Amino acid sequence: MSQFYQARQNNADYRKQLALDILNVYENTTDKSLQNLFNLHLGDEERLNDLKKVAGL
Protein backbone atom coordinates (compact mmCIF):
# COMPACT_ATOMS: atom_id res chain seq x y z
CA MET A 1 0.00 0.00 0.00
CA SER A 2 2.73 2.46 0.90
CA GLN A 3 4.49 1.77 -2.41
CA PHE A 4 1.30 2.65 -4.25
CA TYR A 5 0.95 6.01 -2.52
CA GLN A 6 4.66 6.76 -2.86
CA ALA A 7 4.43 5.99 -6.58
CA ARG A 8 2.08 8.90 -7.29
CA GLN A 9 4.92 10.78 -8.95
CA ASN A 10 6.36 7.72 -10.69
CA ASN A 11 5.63 5.95 -13.92
CA ALA A 12 1.89 5.50 -14.52
CA ASP A 13 2.37 1.90 -15.67
CA TYR A 14 4.20 1.02 -12.45
CA ARG A 15 1.45 2.61 -10.36
CA LYS A 16 -1.22 0.77 -12.35
CA GLN A 17 0.53 -2.57 -11.82
CA LEU A 18 0.80 -1.90 -8.08
CA ALA A 19 -2.92 -1.10 -7.94
CA LEU A 20 -3.78 -4.29 -9.82
CA ASP A 21 -1.58 -6.37 -7.52
CA ILE A 22 -3.07 -4.84 -4.38
CA LEU A 23 -6.63 -5.35 -5.62
CA ASN A 24 -5.87 -8.94 -6.61
CA VAL A 25 -4.64 -9.80 -3.13
CA TYR A 26 -7.46 -7.79 -1.51
CA GLU A 27 -10.16 -9.58 -3.46
CA ASN A 28 -8.69 -13.09 -3.31
CA THR A 29 -7.17 -13.55 0.13
CA THR A 30 -8.66 -15.97 2.61
CA ASP A 31 -6.18 -15.07 5.35
CA LYS A 32 -8.10 -13.34 8.16
CA SER A 33 -5.07 -11.34 9.34
CA LEU A 34 -4.47 -10.03 5.84
CA GLN A 35 -8.15 -9.22 5.40
CA ASN A 36 -8.07 -7.21 8.64
CA LEU A 37 -4.98 -5.35 7.48
CA PHE A 38 -6.61 -4.47 4.17
CA ASN A 39 -9.78 -3.36 5.93
CA LEU A 40 -7.71 -0.97 8.02
CA HIS A 41 -6.01 0.53 4.96
CA LEU A 42 -8.84 0.25 2.44
CA GLY A 43 -11.68 0.64 4.87
CA ASP A 44 -13.41 3.42 3.04
CA GLU A 45 -14.87 3.38 -0.45
CA GLU A 46 -12.84 6.39 -1.57
CA ARG A 47 -9.51 4.57 -1.17
CA LEU A 48 -10.82 1.43 -2.82
CA ASN A 49 -12.26 3.44 -5.71
CA ASP A 50 -8.94 5.27 -6.11
CA LEU A 51 -7.17 1.93 -6.51
CA LYS A 52 -9.76 0.70 -9.01
CA LYS A 53 -9.52 3.91 -11.02
CA VAL A 54 -5.73 3.71 -11.24
CA ALA A 55 -5.96 0.01 -12.12
CA GLY A 56 -8.35 0.84 -14.95
CA LEU A 57 -11.28 -1.09 -13.48
The answer to whether residue 56 scores a pLDDT higher than 90 is: yes
Q: What is the pTM of this model?
A: 0.74
Q: Which residue has the higher pLDDT, 43 or 51?
A: 51
- H helices of the chain, in order, are 2-6, 12-28, 32-41, 45-55
Q: Domain coordinates of the chain in residue numbers?
A: 2-55
Burial class (CB in 10 A: 0-12, 13-18, 19+), 19: buried
pLDDT at 36: 87
Per-residue model confidence (pLDDT) at position 1: 67
Q: Which tens digit of pLDDT belongs to each residue from 3-50?
A: 776 677 778 888 899 899 989 988 898 999 988 888 887 777 888 888
